[in-house]
Structure 1
Amino acid sequence: MTFEEYLVSKKIDKQQFEQQEPGRYASWKAEFEQLHPESFTTQKKFLINEVRRKYLAR
């Protein structure tokens, strides 16, 4: 699973997220590539919800 596929699965709009918060996007992508998706979700659980609310994919 790629980071982009992961964002789709979490209903996060990749384009908006990357444009509005490029630093956070790059940091998360780098971390995601080092971890299993479930481990990443566990580490970022509450932050993912915050980002989803800001950049909800429709």
Structure 2
Amino acid sequence: MMSFEEYCIKKKIDSAAFLAQEPVRWKQWKEEFEQMHPNSFTEQKKFLINETRRKYLLH
């Protein structure tokens, strides 16, 4: 099973920067991610993931 941090890496999101800037949303997403399949999470958050990736792009 993939962790939320690994998922962020896969989606090219800098998890540490995301957590530092938006801890409440990061924790909410982490809890939701742990309760569902990664594909379901992606479908549910598709547009939000793209927005988050632009803000916290993993280099």
Q: Do they superpose with TM above 0.5?
A: yes
How far did 1:47 drift?
0.1
Q: Aligned-pair RMSD on alpha carbons? A: 0.3
Alignment map for 1:1-58 (pairs within 5 Å): 1-58=2-59
In structure 1, the gaps of 5 or more residues are none
How many residues were matched structurally? Answer: 58
How far did 1:31 drift?
0.1
Structure 1 residue ranges, 4+ long, deviating more than 3 angstroms after superposition:
none
TM score, norm. by length of structure 2: 0.97
TM score, norm. by length of structure 1: 0.99
